[in-house]
Amino acid sequence: MRISVLGGDGYCGWATALYLSKQGHEVSIVDNFARRQWDHELGVETLTPIRPLTERLRVWKALTGRDIELVSGDITEYEVLASMMRDLRPEAVVHFAEQRAAPYSMIDRQHAVFTQVNNVVGTLNLLFAIREFAPDCHLVKLGTMGEYGTPNIDIEEGYIEIEHNGRRDVLPYPKQPGSFYHLSKVHDSHNIAFTCRIWGIRATDLHQGVVYGTITDEVSLDERLINRFDYDEVFGTVLNRFCVEAAVQHPLTVYGKGGQTRGYIDIRDTVRCIELACLNPADRGECRVYNQFTEQFSVLELAHLVQHTATRMGLKVTIDHLPDPRVEKEEHYYNAKHSKLVDLGLEPHLLSESLLDSLLNIAQRYRDRIDQSMFIPRVDWRKARNDRHHTTVETGAAR
């Protein structure tokens, strides 16, 4: 089918675009390269040496014979989306094109406002573009498990039946997001549900867990196809960061007690979930929510798993409990449902020692690119201004 991947130059987007192309879908990418820009702003780099998108696409074509069309543009400009929808007539749009790091949104007011405006306006534009130019097109939107927060009851997939004073209704699951970024996803979810109701948009809102891993079958074909692997305190997801820390025998940076429990997913499952959602579109007017993760872990459990694997590999790794820079419960109940994607056919890659092995090996392979000063959290949720602007010089010195 014809699928457009918004944000196809990013971490999940790139893996998804290649996977869908490999499966025989007619794939296009829309991206404005903002993710690369934010690296420059923060003075950080992906562990892995990613190539420019145009080169990636040339290599993919040379290796597989498959074309992926590139639309360079910012979806907060409506005309970018409007012309893409008119010209390419996608049957599904996979929407990754958002600022996706909680710490980035918590740097200061400008970053909070940027994150919410960028994400909300991009999604609004997409909803209007679908309504105007391709009303049958299926929106596959990346949300986050972080929209739910950590309630003291089981987390359902998007909706919950509530009995109250003798009456019943099925209502949107209450949201308690934990950063301006997570809030932006909650705003999106409400906007999407509304347009499903008034315009009959088809939508699947994937509430994704924390993604880990970097190797998918497609990117492993050639080093020039390699995916991002972020390990810095702003964009690095926790398991990836721990593996890089372990590779250089830096203490694992656990925030607070480490009892923070979340849903996790291997990037190889992310790409499969996206295809499953595309192949099984929502009905007109339906706003489906799937919780896209495969296992729950606490941060401390992950640290112990990484420590165990690293030790077996001969690395000496300790665990540091840093003061938690986030405002979150360090111990709490957490039980989130995640059966709908399995019902559609997902066969999870559960976190294994061999996967941790492979992540540690990648980290060791690129160890001369590791900047250890990037491990330490410098964005404090309690402050309204965190200075992340004067990093380059310090970073150079600390390397």
Within residues 380-399, the interface with its own copies by CB under 8 A covers: 381-382, 384-385
Q: Report the run of H or E that residue 92 belongs to, with start and end.
A: strand 92-95
- Applying CB under 8 A, does 327 fall inside the site for its own copies? yes
Interaction pattern, residues 329-368, with its own copies; x per rule: CB under 8 A: ----x-----------------------------------
Alpha helices, H only, the chain: 11-22, 34-42, 53-64, 78-88, 102-105, 109-133, 180-199, 238-247, 267-279, 299-312, 340-343, 353-365, 392-398
Q: Which of 16, 185, 264, 294 is catalytic?
A: 185
Q: How are beta strands 92-95 and 138-144 bridged, if at all? A: parallel
Q: Which of 181, 231, 264, 334 is catalytic?
A: 181
Q: State the minimum distance, in angstroms, from the CB of residue 387 to its own copies.
A: 14
Backbone angles phi, psi at 173, to 5 degrees: -65, 130
Give the whole-angstrom CA distance, residue 315 versus residue 202: 49
Task: Evaluate whether 241 touches 317 at the Cβ level (below 8 Å).
Answer: no
Q: Which residue in this structure is represented by tokens 């400008």? A: 110
Q: State the minimum distance, in angstroms, from the CB of residue 31 to its own copies.
A: 21
Give the whole-angstrom CA distance, residue 17 versus residue 88: 15
Smaller CB distance to its own copies: residue 11 or 255? 255
Q: State the minimum distance, in angstroms, from the CB of residue 162 to its own copies.
A: 6
- Amino acid sitting at position 115: T
- Amino acid sitting at position 366: Y
Residue 181: active-site member? yes
Q: Which residue in this structure is represented by tokens 């699951």? A: 173
Q: Which of 46, 76, 144, 237 is catalytic?
A: 144
Give the range of 67-75, 122-130, 307-315, 391-399 binding its own copies by CB under 8 A: 122-130
**Binder among 121, 305, 315, 376 for its own copies (CB under 8 A):** 121
Q: How far is CA 293 from CA 192, 195, 212, 272, 282, in A?
A: 21, 26, 11, 12, 19
- Applying CB under 8 A, does 136 fall inside the site for its own copies? no
In the structure encoding, which two tokens stand for residue 22, read together? 């490999």
Backbone angles phi, psi at 345, to 5 degrees: 125, 5
Half-sphere exposure of 62 (CA within 13 A, CB side): 10
Q: State the minimum distance, in angstroms, from the CB of residue 33 to its own copies.
A: 23
Q: How far is CA 383 from the centre of its chain?
A: 25
Region for residue 345 given its phi and psi (left: phi exceeds 0; alpha: psi -120 to 50; beta: otherwise):
left
- Applying CB under 8 A, does 323 fall inside the site for its own copies? no
Residue 173: active-site member? no
Q: State the minimum distance, in angstroms, from the CB of residue 79 to its own copies.
A: 11
Smaller CB distance to its own copies: residue 151 or 251? 151
Within residues 75-114, the interface with its own copies by CB under 8 A covers: 78, 109, 112-113
- Applying CB under 8 A, does 198 fall inside the site for its own copies? yes
Smaller CB distance to its own copies: residue 131 or 268? 131
Task: Kindly report the number of other CB atoms within 10 A of residue 45's CB atom.
Answer: 19
- Applying CB under 8 A, does 284 fall inside the site for its own copies? no
Give the range of 39-47, 163-171, 202-210, 232-240 binding its own copies by CB under 8 A: 163-171
In the structure encoding, which two tokens stand for residue 243, read together? 């593996």
Smaller CB distance to its own copies: residue 163 or 368? 163
- Applying CB under 8 A, does 286 fall inside the site for its own copies? no
Q: Interface residues with its own copies (CB under 8 A)? A: 78, 109, 112-113, 116-117, 120-121, 124-125, 128, 131-132, 151-154, 160, 162-165, 167-169, 171-180, 183, 186-187, 190-191, 193-194, 197-199, 327, 333, 381-382, 384-385
Residues recognised as catalytic: 144, 181, 185
